[in-house]
């Protein structure tokens, strides 16, 4: 995976695409940490809506598929809304991905 990530980083054309890739990787790391916290907790995991847990990863992947400035802004706003709604549970684990997505928007504007 590290080799394919390095190859993908070399093929990116702009700094905004590299920031979008970083946001995706950080979102994936946040999903892994979220899943660990959910499974390790004493609550029943059958009631967890896993599609909501994986939503930030899907949102962070959209700017990689459609590399346009408007898509990056929309994905950043959606990720920010998700972090805001889930702030007191697993939303804080996605804050690094939100910061990287915001960095992609800033790099795209230059």
Q: Averaged in consecutive runs of 10 residues, what is the pLDDT profile of the chain (110 residues)? A: 57 82 94 90 82 91 92 95 90 91 84
**d(Cα 71, Cα 48) in Å, to the nearest integer?**
29
Q: How many domains does the chain have?
A: 1
CA distances to 66, 72, 92, 108 from 35, in Å: 27, 26, 13, 32
Q: What is the pTM of this model?
A: 0.81
Q: What is the pLDDT of residue 48?
A: 83
**d(Cα 109, Cα 67) in Å, to the nearest integer?**
13
> What residue numbers bound the domain in which 12 lies?
2-109
Q: What is the pLDDT of residue 8?
A: 57
């Amino acid at each position: 995976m590290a080799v394919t990530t390095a190859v993908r980083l070399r093929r990116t054309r702009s700094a905004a695409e590299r920031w979008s890739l970083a946001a995706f990787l950080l979102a994936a790391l946040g999903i892994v940490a979220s899943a660990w916290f959910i499974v390790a907790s004493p609550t029943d995991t059958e009631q967890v809506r896993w599609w909501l847990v994986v939503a930030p990863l899907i949102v962070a992947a959209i700017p990689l598929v459609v590399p346009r400035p408007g898509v990056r802004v929309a994905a950043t706003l959606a990720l920010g809304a998700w972090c805001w709604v889930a702030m007191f549970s697993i939303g804080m684990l996605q804050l690094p991905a939100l910061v990287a997505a915001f960095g992609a928007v800033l790099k795209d504007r230059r």
